[in-house]
Amino acid sequence: MTAAKLGTTTPTANWTAGLAYRKDLADGSVLALGTGQRTIWEHSVELDPTGRFAFYSTAAPALAGDTNGHTDVYRRDLDGGVVGPLVLVTGNAAGAHTGGPTGSVAATEYARVFAVTGDDVLVTTSQALTPVDANKQRDLYRKDLADGSFRTPLA
């Protein structure tokens, strides 16, 4: 994550927010994880064990329909050094954005992700990712991003 204007003609200048990137340490190439917005922080960066999939959190509305105003986690496929589409990690089984507590939430309630694999993630969030979650507290989920299903975190 950096506020530097990477990939521009003025790389020593800065944006107003830190943005998430993956840098290849062998050749120095850099791939942006986000959408190019420059005002809302991208943080909590995570790579899956292979380095192919990158995850990050942001309150920016990175996908159409994101009106929940909450910090969401996204996955980006970086296979072959090419930026692939964003996938919403903190969405329900159908992939839609969900609600959560109204008003400000503490930084400890922001979504966090741990990539077991590129498709199998553990995520903590105060958003209700399943219909039975009504407590508006941070909960731990295990999600299969290939099919959107949820499993017990211990399975």
Q: Number of folded domains in the chain?
A: 1
**Percent of the chain with pLDDT strictly greater than 90:** 31
Q: What is the DSSP letter of 14?
A: E
In the predicted model, what is the mean pLDDT of the chain? 83
28 burial type by CB count under 10 A (0-12 exposed, 13-18 middle, 19+ buried): exposed
Say if 21 falls within a structural domain.
Answer: no
Say if 31 falls within a structural domain.
Answer: no
Say if 7 falls within a structural domain.
Answer: no
Interval 57-85: pLDDT, tens: 888 889 988 888 888 899 999 998 888 99
Say if 143 falls within a structural domain.
Answer: yes
Quote the pLDDT of residue 112.
84
- 53 - beta bridge partners? 77
Say if 1 falls within a structural domain.
Answer: no
Quote the pLDDT of residue 103.
62
- Nearest one of 27, 85, 25 to 54, comparing CA atoms: 85
Where do we find the tokens 């050094």?
81
Say if 138 falls within a structural domain.
Answer: yes
- Domain of 122 in residue numbering reads as 43-151
Say if 11 falls within a structural domain.
Answer: no
- Nearest one of 154, 141, 147, 81 to 114, comparing CA atoms: 141
Confidence label for 147 from pLDDT (cuts 50, 70 and 90): very high
Q: Considering the entire predicted model, what is its pTM?
A: 0.82
Say if 98 falls within a structural domain.
Answer: yes
